[in-house]
């Protein structure tokens, strides 16, 4: 396949990832109205939205098997349809149970939205080009978080939070049309047809190979931190602790999201230039743990400086740095690609993504419990501690150690 059609197909497949990022980070700018209309607390909302990554993780292994068995296009179209139904269900939710069900359907449908373009690229591109394109894919998908910052904050303010989910449903419909009409069908290399039990055992063996064990530890806290800071607790921190209105808080989160959008592409280019992925990954996530701690420490620092509070610019700069530096998580996909043969690419990438989202489900639920004890600051620190533990664990288990 010529280079241009490959690049176009990858970008079109990224529309599903855009949808996924918009849908899962929308609650950050709608916590107050969601809790009011659903009759729940912020802690309960954290637990409900934690169903999204839990459902995502629960079906990740079957998605990896489907990518290897049936190809990217067929898997992507099925998952987009499920995800679009989840967005509609969320828009129609009337209470905690209906929203919980909607989050489960959304999470299951979104489970392959990153893996589809990543797997397509891993099979079609050389290793150096894949290092760059894995960053481009993540950067393109992260534009979905741009939508859930200021644009959806304005929509929620003008209409209500349901309009935000209807908008996400429209994105899913557009993605289905683009992929169905323009993405070429891919046919994985033929392999002996085996039972599901055999495939599941093979996935387990892949996940435990020496080249992947450290990556699985690293990814457990990596996306959890993005989802926790940008997707859930960042909005309440800015509105409740810093006293910002919804639109201003959305603008601050928008700046963080721009950094999240640019960062993956820069990470891929830096890896191509200097290498040393394990060092870049470890240093980046330890740095992000420090940035989260500095956000929470704004009150004590302001007191030390004789100020009533640190200015909003303090949080803005730290969140932008966080967004840019946490994006080095994308380098994990390059390590995964190099650790397995091509016929296991879908399974291996799905193992890593499973850890991304299983960690998000566990840590998001934990952060909700911690918030009930110590407030928004304590919830944010949950992710800082997890980043430190998992980054050091990865360094000990890193490939080629």
Task: Examine residue 190 and state whether it is found in any structural domain, yes or no.
Answer: no
Task: Examine residue 187 and state whether it is found in any structural domain, yes or no.
Answer: no
What is the residue range of 27's domain? 3-181+196-397
Q: Is the pLDDT of residue 122 over 60?
A: yes
SS3 of 245, please?
coil
Task: Examine residue 131 and state whether it is found in any structural domain, yes or no.
Answer: yes
Query: Per residue in 57-68, pLDDT tens?
Result: 788 778 877 887
Task: Examine residue 152 and state whether it is found in any structural domain, yes or no.
Answer: yes
Span between the terminal Cα atoms of the chain, in Å: 37
pLDDT at residue 83, rounded to an integer: 95
Task: Examine residue 191 and state whether it is found in any structural domain, yes or no.
Answer: no
**CATH number for the domain harbouring residue 349:** 1.20.1250.20
Averaged over 360-370, what is the pLDDT? 84
Question: In whole angstroms, what is the distance from residue 14 CA to residue 335 CA?
Answer: 21
pLDDT at residue 90, rounded to an integer: 92
Task: Examine residue 308 and state whether it is found in any structural domain, yes or no.
Answer: yes
Averaged over 52-80, what is the pLDDT? 86
| pLDDT above 90 as % of the chain | 30
Asked if 226 and 326 count as a contact pair (C-beta separation under 8 A), the reply is: yes
Query: Per residue in 127-161, pLDDT tens?
Result: 778 877 877 887 888 787 777 666 777 788 788 88
Q: How many domains does the chain have?
A: 1
Q: Is the pLDDT of residue 191 over 60?
A: no
| Among the listed residues 315, 294, 164, the one whose alpha carbon sits nearest the alpha carbon of residue 236 | 315
Question: In whole angstroms, what is the distance from residue 144 CA to residue 138 CA?
Answer: 10
Would you place residue 318 in the very low, low, confident or very high pLDDT band (cuts 50, 70, 90)? Answer: very high
Using alpha carbons, list the distances in angstroms from residue 60 to 63, 192, 209, 340, 356: 5, 22, 18, 18, 10
Between 79 and 302, the more confident residue is 79
Between 197 and 287, the more confident residue is 287
Task: Examine residue 188 and state whether it is found in any structural domain, yes or no.
Answer: no
pLDDT at residue 78, rounded to an integer: 96
Dump the DSSP string for 39-67. T--HHHHHHHHTHHHHHHHHTHHHHHHHH
Question: In whole angstroms, what is the distance from residue 109 CA to residue 83 CA?
Answer: 4
Q: What are phi and psi of 400, to 5 degrees?
A: 80, 10
Task: Examine residue 57 and state whether it is found in any structural domain, yes or no.
Answer: yes
| Helices and strands in the chain, H and E counts | 20, 0
């Amino acid at each position: 396949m010529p280079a241009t059609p490959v690049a176009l197909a990858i970008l079109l497949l990224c529309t599903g990832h855009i949808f996924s990022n918009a849908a899962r980070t929308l609650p950050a700018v709608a916590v107050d109205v969601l809790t009011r209309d659903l009759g729940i607390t912020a802690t309960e909302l954290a637990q409900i939205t934690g169903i999204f990554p839990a459902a995502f993780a629960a079906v990740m292994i079957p998605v990896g098997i489907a990518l290897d068995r049936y190809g990217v296009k067929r898997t992507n179209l099925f998952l987009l349809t499920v995800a679009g139904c989840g967005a509609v269900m969320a828009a129609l939710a009337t209470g905690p149970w209906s929203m919980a069900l909607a989050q489960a359907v959304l999470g299951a449908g979104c489970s392959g939205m990153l893996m589809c373009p990543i797997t397509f690229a891993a099979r079609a591109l050389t290793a150096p080009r894949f290092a760059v394109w894995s960053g481009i894919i993540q950067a393109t998908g992260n534009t979905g978080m741009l939508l859930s910052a200021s644009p959806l904050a304005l929509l929620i303010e003008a209409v209500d939070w349901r309009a935000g989910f209807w908008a996400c449903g429209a994105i899913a419909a557009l993605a289905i049309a683009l992929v169905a009409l323009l993405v070429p069908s891919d046919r994985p290399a033929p392999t002996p047809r085996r039972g599901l039990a055999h495939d599941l055992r093979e996935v387990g063996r892949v996940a435990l190979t020496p080249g992947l064990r450290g990556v699985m530890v690293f990814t457990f806290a990596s996306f959890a931190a993005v989802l926790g800071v940008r997707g859930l607790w960042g909005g309440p921190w800015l509105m409740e602790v810093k006293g910002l209105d919804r639109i201003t808080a959305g603008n601050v989160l928008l700046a963080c999201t721009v950094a999240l959008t640019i960062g993956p592409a820069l990470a891929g280019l830096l890896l191509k230039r200097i290498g040393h992925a394990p060092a870049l990954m470890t240093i980046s996530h330890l740095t992000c743990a420090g940035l989260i701690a500095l956000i929470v420490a704004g009150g004590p620092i302001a007191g030390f400086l004789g100020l009533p509070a640190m200015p909003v610019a303090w949080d803005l700069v730290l969140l932008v740095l966080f967004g840019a530096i946490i994006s080095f998580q994308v380098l994990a996909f390059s390590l995964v690609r190099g650790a397995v043969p091509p016929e296991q690419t879908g399974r291996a990438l799905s193992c890593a993504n499973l850890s991304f989202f299983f960690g998000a489900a566990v840590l998001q639920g934990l952060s909700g419990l911690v918030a009930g004890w110590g407030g928004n600051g304590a919830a944010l620190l949950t992710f800082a501690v997890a980043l430190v533990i998992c980054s050091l664990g990865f360094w000990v288990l890193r490939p080629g150690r």
